[in-house]
């Protein structure tokens, strides 16, 4: 174990990038200290691209998760979500990113049981376009992001995430919505700041030549994480990503003046994130376990 301390503005701005098993690290964290958790755990897809860099820790984890099928995967993830629930503040939110392989299992057997069905807020559908479609099925072009809170008193900054009307390019003219509707005296006027997004978000995935790309295959778009961080946290809040991957969550949190903790057991994922953060700002602390 060794640590590298880099000059930071103040102790209140301490940020941590941690290499290790997130379960053990979460168990060592204080209860109710985190304002927002975003996690993009390995999907139950059995695809080899998940072993992105081939370091030993990543290979062992990949093999272990699928050894017992879906039941093993859900048990592996559930014990980590239990600890995330513990470290989350009463006013906090969790956004869990998954796809069709295990989304139903995750919601029913993990999130509803730990957070409670009454604290389910949204299933956000992240829509994107891509090349190639199967001939006998509809092309799968979306992921699910489950949004839960710990209580009825939670942060939601609607005005921070408003988008232009017709931003998604729907055919209907928004002008038809405004004015006095038939059979009512109520007059509808557009909000000058735009509208709050629906629970489906059309945000393009990063193509191969996108300048945002850092070479990490499962990298998520900055715009996607920016919307999540803005809506569910405030400046100075603590954002946790326990499966840091290419580091998009930390890069967004840092840019938006949030404190952050990122965890990953892949040496190379931590190195990539560290380099990304160094390029964005030199004010962070790395801790290797």
Query: pLDDT tens digits for 49-100?
Result: 454 555 666 666 555 566 778 999 999 999 999 999 999 999 999 999 998 8
Structural domain contains residue 180: no
Residues 156-177: pLDDT tens digits? 999 999 999 875 555 455 556 6
For residue 242, the domain's CATH number is: 3.40.50.150
Q: In 255-271, which positions are buried (b, 16+ CB within 10 angstroms) versus exposed (e)?
A: ebebbbbbbbbbeebbb
23 or 268, higher pLDDT: 23
Q: What is residue 58's predicted lDDT score, i.e. its pLDDT?
A: 61
Q: How many structural domains does the chain have?
A: 1
pLDDT over 90 (residue 6): no
Structural domain contains residue 157: yes
Structural domain contains residue 171: no
Mean pLDDT along residues 104-126: 98
Q: Helix (H, G, I), strand (E, B), or coil: what is residue 125? A: strand
For residue 220, what pLDDT band results from cuts at 50, 70 and 90?
very high
For residue 4, what pLDDT band results from cuts at 50, 70 and 90?
very low
Structural domain contains residue 23: yes
User: Positive or negative, the Cα torsion across 42, 46, 51, 52?
Assistant: negative
Q: Is the whole-model pTM more than 0.85? A: yes
The residue range of the domain holding 156 is: 2-161+196-288
Structural domain contains residue 191: no
Query: Considering the chain, what percentage of its residues have pLDDT values greater than 70?
Result: 80
Q: What is residue 98's predicted lDDT score, i.e. its pLDDT?
A: 94
Residues 8-49: pLDDT tens digits? 333 355 799 999 999 999 999 999 999 999 999 987 765 544
Neighbour count for residue 234 (Cβ, 10 Å): 15
Interatomic CA distance for residues 244 and 54, integer angstroms? 16
Per-residue DSSP letter, 246: T
Structural domain contains residue 81: yes
H/E element, 148: strand 142-149
Per-residue DSSP letter, 150: S
Inter-residue contact 95 to 228 (CB < 8 Å):
yes
Which of 267, 231, 223, 265 lies closest to 248 in space, CA to CA? 223
- Long-range contact pairs involving 41-49 (C-beta distance under 8 Å, separation at least 24): 41/77, 41/80, 41/96, 41/97, 41/98, 41/243, 42/243, 43/98, 43/99, 43/101, 43/102, 44/70, 44/73, 44/101, 44/102, 44/105, 45/99, 45/101, 49/217, 49/218
Structural domain contains residue 183: no
Question: Mean of the per-residue pLDDT values for the chain?
Answer: 85
pLDDT over 80 (residue 205): yes
Structural domain contains residue 118: yes
Residues 137-150: pLDDT tens digits? 888 889 999 999 99
Q: How far is CA 67 from CA 57, 61, 70, 74, 242, in A?
A: 16, 10, 9, 12, 22
Residue with tokens 């946790």: 240
């Amino acid at each position: 174990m060794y640590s590298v301390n880099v000059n930071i503005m103040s102790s209140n701005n301490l940020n941590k990038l941690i290499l290790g098993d997130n379960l053990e690290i979460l168990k060592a964290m204080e209860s109710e200290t985190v304002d927002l958790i975003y996690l993009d755990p390995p999907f139950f897809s059995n695809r080899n691209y998940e072993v992105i860099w081939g370091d030993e820790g990543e290979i062992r984890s990949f093999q272990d998760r699928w050894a017992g099928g879906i039941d093993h995967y859900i048990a592996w993830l559930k014990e980590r979500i239990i600890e995330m629930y513990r470290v989350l503040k009463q006013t906090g939110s969790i956004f869990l990113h998954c796809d069709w392989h295990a989304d139903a299992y995750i919601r029913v057997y993990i999130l509803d049981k730990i957070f409670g069905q009454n604290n389910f807020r949204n299933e956000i559908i992240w829509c994107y376009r891509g090349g190639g479609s199967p001939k006998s099925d509809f092309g799968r072009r979306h992921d699910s992001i489950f949004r839960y809170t710990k209580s009825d008193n939670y942060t939601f900054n609607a005005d921070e995430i408003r988008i232009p009307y017709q931003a998604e390019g729907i055919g209907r003219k928004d002008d038809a919505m405004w004015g006095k509707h038939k059979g009512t005296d109520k007059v509808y006027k557009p909000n000058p700041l735009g509208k709050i997004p629906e629970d489906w978000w059309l945000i393009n995935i990063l193509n191969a030549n996108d300048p945002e790309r850092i070479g990490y295959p499962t990298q998520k778009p900055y715009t996607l994480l920016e919307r999540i961080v803005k809506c569910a946290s405030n400046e100075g809040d603590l954002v946790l990503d326990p499966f840091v991957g290419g580091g998009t969550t930390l890069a967004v949190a840092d840019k938006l003046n949030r404190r952050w903790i990122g965890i990953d057991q892949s040496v190379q994922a931590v190195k990539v994130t560290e380099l990304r953060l160094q390029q964005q700002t030199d004010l962070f602390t790395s801790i290797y376990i």
